[in-house]
Structure 1
Amino acid sequence: MKVLLTGSTGYIGRRLKQKLLEDKNIKLRLLVRNKKSVCELEKKVEIIEGDTFNKDALKIALQDVDTAYYLIHSLSNENYKDLDKISAQNFLDVAVECGVKRIIYLGGLGVKNDDTSEHLLSRIETGEILSSNKNVQTIWFRAGVIIGSGSASFEIIRNLTEKLPVMTTPKWVNTIAQPIAIDDVLSYLQEAINLETKENLIVDIGSKALSYKEMMIGTANALGLKRVIIPLPFMSINISSYWLNLFTPVPFSVAKALIEGLKSEVTIQNDHAKKYFPQIQPISYEDSVRNAIKEIEENQVISRWNDTANGVWEKNSSNEISQALYMDRKEADISHIQAQKVYQAFTSIGGENGWFAFDFLWELRGFIDKMIGGVGLKRGRRSQCDLRISDCLDFWKVVDLKENERLLLYAQMKLPGEAWLEFKIKDNKLIQSAYFYPKGVFGRLYWYSLVPLHYFIFKNMINSIIKKASTL
């Protein structure tokens, strides 16, 4: 069976891709914006470069495909509702043209009403578009709070629970939802390939219904903590969004979209999961939390909510760096150290490992970034022991990675311009370069105001990398 997977660099798609690769009865094809986002071990599958806004690329990707997974959304864009409609309609039109038999889509639990958030409404409208043509069967899964290492919902609940022994919370903590473990979501998605039915289906999935307060208490139990939660009698979407922005890894824009969705309950509306997938028995909320914590502790996090590129690695970084007006470059001789060890040292940067020195300055910059709606340092690293293209590294994004040769990071903090940080091994030298392309006068003032700090920070950084490499 030929299967197309879209969204394979996202949170769900990356994990589903691993499962599909293990199925010998499937010939897998990926549609990705940039082939660099695909790991070397996965390049044995057919890869089509493009997106759902390019119909020519879609025709190539969907040609001769039996089943296509649609795991795409445009939440990071301001006009995501319009983009989601265009994307879904393009996908459906080309799928019909290419004779695709089945589309499998993952959306959100919930129904249309006056309290439906824009984010959920967009997911519902996407499902309606994909289900609108009788020539292609659509299996539309609807899930609520997905619990797994790296999921946005779990990161929020875990961070609040770990950091705040006593919480005064808005009334949204009493909203009822039906959480589900990421492994159970993947099981439904995978089993849907061989489902023996020809009708369109909406399949609501989830475990026991819980309030968000009960989820926080369940998380505390799984972590062995005691927490006190005091609900307040108001909703405060904006205040809650800033609160989540401050205490969790998610930026303000994501936090607000999630909080707006907490105005109404999201519960299962049909019994199709039990009827069509009786072999899947969703695990309990606390067990899903324990599984997620175990993956984190063992550095086995396959994907995170912020894996999606959001246009970052689609940039031609080589061209953009060449246009940078300002650069801070440091070089060090590494002829006495193996290149592999130097590479291992500079790819260990960030997250719990820190920035070698002056960590308090990096933390201050991360705090300021959070206060102005940026991503801050709280995203950390997916894994403390390895990197891959698309990984978030605090407020940076890995946009290029060549083993024993190069690491290129693109800045995602709030800046009056664009910035890159590069580590490169060449001719027995470690070359560390910071590039900045300013926007307007303020961008130039920003760079010059930081020149004194850059001198100490970047000089110490390259020396610390060499020192660490010498001890490996």
Structure 2
Amino acid sequence: MSLKRVLVLGASGYVGSQLIPQLLKQGYLVTGAARQIDYLKARVSPHPNLTLVFLDLADEQSTLELIPNYDIVFFLVHGMAHGHDFLEYEIALAHHVKKALDISPVEHVIYLSAIQPQTGNSEHLAARKETGNILRTSKVPITELRAGVVIGPGSAAFEIMRDFSYNLPILITPKWVDSKANPIALENLNHYLIQLSHAKAAGNIIYEVGGPDTLSYRAQFEVLCREINKPLRLWATPLLTPKLASYWLGVITSVPSNIGRALLSGLEHDFVANASAIHERFPQTLIPYQEAVANSLKSEGKFVRSNVWGFEPEALTRWQAGYGYYPKKAGATYTTNKTTEQLWQVVKLIGSREQGYFFANTLWRTREWLDLFFGGGKPIRRSPPGPELNVGDFIDSWKVIRCEKPGFLSLLFGMKGPGLGRLEFTITDKGDYREINITAWWHPEGFRGLLYWFAMMPAHLFIFRGMVRAICRKA
């Protein structure tokens, strides 16, 4: 008997990247498809039954070519990170997938959607609902799981609440904090997803999924604060309109702002799932909210144990509870007709006596000396033995944690600061031209980490723009 071929669309997302190992344990041949393929490869461990492919569902032809090769498809894609027009964007993606399903032997599609409240108007929720409607017009049976807040490290809605609790001495929230929900633990959600992959599809069906406890967001904050040993000081104010709240959220949390804004528009309604139907079909012990939160906080540092950080022991050692799961980031991109190899020959000289940091070297050296005020010591000048960069090399206070010649370099931030950071250089061949990108990633440690990030932001914007241009000139 041949193994079932399973395709996970949106594999680089929170649910997808954590579902893939579960599917592999079931003995499936799994393909993870995503636009952020480099991030997915860094997050998911290699496996003989796992294939990772780049796919942008906006590319209709590529979608038509890929989907017909599978027996089961998990549709975990959402367009919240796309921007303000994600409703039209998601609908377009759904139409492309529907066309591919109509010409495919796919037996079952499992679509992770969102609970639809009785009142309110949210583009995020409308997009989820309309996507399901479009998929159900295909010839393939569609099982739609409508979930609310998922409790687990990396879940955007949970991370918003977690960041608020860690990062603010007083939690200033919109009035929606008294709306109710019954959040579901990631472990329980995965159980339903796996069981559906085994089940024979019998037409289109919609299930709501939720946990055993129905609580207001205020009560959820209370549990979360208790678990991290912080007093609950919460002020709910009507002054935080949805638009103002979205800006406030972008400052306080590390969750990507587009995703945060989209989620925020839905949280002002009650999100209570009636999960009796799916619980009767696939019974399991539902994890109480407090236990789910405690489990998530215990495992929140697991993402450090991945190739995103080059499996660097120092990153794991320095990680502390309370660091933002999602990083703040700043960077710059520049295009050039120089070759990838020409650009790499310059990038690999970073920190050398000849090139320094390519631009504003005085500012780089000033920051190193400021370490004396953050509890660090006198700067140490270190250079790689060369001539090539290798993982483990030190460049002054930085450490090479990933080096994929000739297109990618990642350096671990080695100076003192309230958080954990890295600096990445990426060279991408676009055919007629090359694109070089420099990005700083910063996982803030609570309120101090946020203050540090915003204090450094003006310098980051100035320096990185100068660096990408200087690298191209020197190449």
TM-score by length of 2: 0.68
| More displaced 10-residue stretch of structure 1: 206-215 or 41-50 | 41-50
What is the CA distance between 1:85 and its match in structure 2? 0.7
- Secondary structure of the 1:76 match is helix
Distance 1:316 1:58 in 2: 31
What is the CA distance between 1:175 and its match in structure 2? 0.8
Write the deviation string for residues 284-322 of structure 1: whole angstroms up to 9, x where unpaired.
Answer: 111111111111256667799869x9xx99x99986997
What is the CA distance between 1:199 and its match in structure 2? 2.4
Q: Pick from 259, 265, 268: which aligns with 2:264?
A: 259
1:172–1:130 CA distance, 2 compared to 1 (3 A): same
Contact map agreement 1:65 1:100 (CA 8 A) in 2: yes
Please state if 1:435 is matched with 2:468.
yes
Please state if 1:109 is matched with 2:109.
no
Distance 1:434 1:223 in 2: 40
Aligned residue runs from structure 1 range 78-93, under 5 A: 78=83, 79-93=85-99
**Alignment length, in residue pairs?**
379
Structure 2: where are the runs of 5+ without partners?
Answer: 309-323, 354-382, 403-410, 429-435, 442-456
Equivalent residue, structure 2, for 1:463: none
Write the deviation string for residues 56-104 of structure 1: whole angstroms up to 9, x where unpaired.
Answer: 3223322342110111122122321111111111112111211211111
Aligned residue runs from structure 1 range 95-174, under 5 A: 95-111=101-117, 113=119, 115-133=120-138, 135-174=139-178
What is the CA distance between 1:408 and its match in structure 2? 7.3
Query: Which residue type is aligned with residue 129 of structure 1?
Result: I
Q: Pick from 352, 368, 378: which aligns with 1:331?
A: 352
1:198–1:415 CA distance, 2 compared to 1 (3 A): farther
Equivalent residue, structure 2, for 1:369: none
- Identity fraction in percent: 22
Contact map agreement 1:33 1:50 (CA 8 A) in 2: yes
Q: Pick from 341, 360, 366: which aligns with 2:392?
A: 341
Query: Which residue type is aligned with residue 77 of structure 1?
Result: H
Please state if 1:222 is matched with 2:227.
yes
Q: Pick from 25, 28, 36: which aligns with 2:30?
A: 28
- Secondary structure of the 1:29 match is strand
What is the CA distance between 1:212 and its match in structure 2? 0.7
What is the CA distance between 1:147 and its match in structure 2? 1.4
Query: Which residue type is aligned with residue 188 of structure 1?
Result: Y
What is the CA distance between 1:178 and its match in structure 2? 1.8
Distance 1:119 1:305 in 2: 22
Aligned residue runs from structure 1 range 184-195, under 5 A: 184-195=188-199
Write the deviation string for residues 364-406 of structure 1: whole angstroms up to 9, x where unpaired.
Answer: xxxxxxxxxxxxxx8x56xxxxxxxxxxx5xx667579xxxxx
Query: Which residue type is aligned with residue 31 of structure 2?
Result: R
Distance 1:56 1:146 in 2: 33
Contact map agreement 1:329 1:434 (CA 8 A) in 2: no
Please state if 1:11 is matched with 2:14.
yes
Distance 2:81 2:390 in 1: 37
Query: Which residue type is aligned with residue 16 of structure 1?
Result: L
Contact map agreement 1:4 1:65 (CA 8 A) in 2: yes
Q: Pick from 271, 278, 302: which aligns with 2:276?
A: 271
TM-score by length of 1: 0.68
1:398–1:187 CA distance, 2 compared to 1 (3 A): farther
Aligned residue runs from structure 1 range 241-252, under 5 A: 241-252=246-257
What is the CA distance between 1:211 and its match in structure 2? 0.8
Equivalent residue, structure 1, for 2:453: none
Query: Which residue type is aligned with residue 272 of structure 1?
Result: A
Distance 1:67 1:122 in 2: 23
What is the CA distance between 1:347 and its match in structure 2? 2.8
1:196–1:358 CA distance, 2 compared to 1 (3 A): closer
Write the deviation string for residues 444-470 of structure 1: whole angstroms up to 9, x where unpaired.
Answer: xxxxxxxxxxxxxxxxxxxxxxxxxxx
Please state if 1:410 is matched with 2:434.
no
- Secondary structure of the 1:283 match is coil
1:347–1:65 CA distance, 2 compared to 1 (3 A): same
- Secondary structure of the 1:204 match is strand
- Secondary structure of the 1:63 match is helix
What is the CA distance between 1:151 and its match in structure 2? 1.8
Contact map agreement 1:147 1:180 (CA 8 A) in 2: yes
What is the CA distance between 1:22 and its match in structure 2? 1.7
Distance 1:414 1:123 in 2: 37
- Secondary structure of the 1:119 match is helix
Distance 1:316 1:137 in 2: 48
Distance 2:6 2:251 in 1: 41
Distance 2:140 2:462 in 1: 44
Please state if 1:290 is matched with 2:294.
yes
Please state if 1:72 is matched with 2:77.
yes
Distance 2:241 2:105 in 1: 48
Distance 1:46 1:298 in 2: 22
Equivalent residue, structure 2, for 1:368: none
- Secondary structure of the 1:41 match is coil
Equivalent residue, structure 1, for 2:454: none
